[in-house]
Amino acid sequence: MEIRLERRPTVSRRINISVRILAILFSLPFIGLLFAAYGVNPVDAYLRIFTGGFGSLYGFSETIVKTLPIGLCAVGLTFAYKARVLNIGAEGQLIMGSIAATWVALYSGLPQSVITIIMLLAGFTIGALWALLPAVLKSELNINEVIVTLMMNYISLKLLDYAVTGPWRGLTQWGFPQTDPFPSYARFPVIGGTRIQYYTLALLLVSTLILYVLMKRTKIGYEIRIVGSNPEAAKYAGISVNRNILLVMLVSGGLAGIAGVGEAAGIHGRLIRGISPGYGYTAIIPAWLGGLDPLGTIVASFFISGLMVGSDAIQVSLRLPSSLVYVFNGVILLFIVSSEVLARYRILFKIGGRKIWI
């Protein structure tokens, strides 16, 4: 018998999607082994995760709550990754956005009527600026953005820590590492009975749509795709690679910043240590899982969020460690990335005289 890898003659959407779904399905038995090691029945665990995330109205709404920050970050990251700018700093950009929103809400002294819009603008701007530094370092000095954005996440965490334990520590909070609550006019309204914020939801949908149209139908999207596919060819064609690097970083940083505003103003109503349970990192998965397409990314973000909510549920009901969720995500990402090969190549089995392709 002979086994060989062969290039696929055509690349279709159907193949792309089925490969990714298969990747996830194949990852489940491996994670199941983990559950078994904890003495938990894997099938039982999976069922609980699924019902936890999607099975009840409460679970479903919580899934959407998580889809908002993850989706905002992920859609922005899709834009950056398409240009092959590996922004790993969504987490830090999100945190900086929440810090910016906090300042506007608590210390800016701006009139009530404009607070919301200023918070959003500030969040976007600060998130974008936080991404600007690694962008400039990459375009001017060819410094790897993966390392810079990652390191800046830690810087933002320290800034957050400093703010909530130092100058911004809540006067009414008995020493807990958090600020005073935002005034009610600075808080984002939610859909009744849930924690789903109107503004963030709207912004997520609008930005997804805009980025989708931008990437597929405009000159900017076209340039970005060429930069991502072959930066040397982009240069040769007269496209400014640097300008596009800056653009995608600013946009992805800004969107992550807005996610941060939502977390501060919509979910917690204050700035706290741990304002993000790693949303910025988690968002990397749906960006790739969605095939670097904003619409696919939204679907994938929804899926990942459901997974997170379900995992939270079993942490309590089955008493599993919280880090299990991160292992979960890591294994799934591993499977997805390695399955990329199968979207472009197929496996040829030659048995006897016959050929079978997968």
Residues that bind another protein (CB under 8 A): 6-11, 217-220, 222, 225-226, 228-230, 232-240
How far apart are the C-alpha atoms of 331 and 23, rounded to whole Å? Answer: 10
Q: How far is the CB of 242 from another protein (least distance, A)?
A: 11
**Closest by Cα among 53, 88, 91 to 69:** 91
User: In this structure, what token pair is assigned to residue 215?
Assistant: 């990437």
Q: Which is nearer to another protein, 126 or 226 (CB)?
A: 226
Q: Which is nearer to another protein, 96 or 239 (CB)?
A: 239
Helix or strand (DSSP H, E) at 322: none
Q: Which is nearer to another protein, 108 or 240 (CB)?
A: 240
Q: Which is nearer to another protein, 17 or 155 (CB)?
A: 17
Q: How far is the CB of 225 from another protein (least distance, A)?
A: 6
User: In this structure, what token pair is assigned to residue 46?
Assistant: 């999976």
Query: Please, are residues 100 and 261 in contact by the beta-carbon 8 Å criterion?
Result: yes
Query: Please, are residues 96 and 90 in contact by the beta-carbon 8 Å criterion?
Result: no
**Closest by Cα among 252, 194, 254, 247 to 224:** 247
User: In this structure, what token pair is assigned to residue 103?
Assistant: 């300042």
Helix (H, G, I), strand (E, B) or coil at 272: strand
Q: Which is nearer to another protein, 51 or 218 (CB)?
A: 218
Q: How far is the CB of 233 from another protein (least distance, A)?
A: 5
Q: What is the DSSP letter of 186?
A: G
Helix or strand (DSSP H, E) at 21: helix 13-37
Q: What is the DSSP letter of 277?
A: S
Q: Which is nearer to another protein, 11 or 351 (CB)?
A: 11
Query: Please, are residues 63 and 309 in contact by the beta-carbon 8 Å criterion?
Result: yes
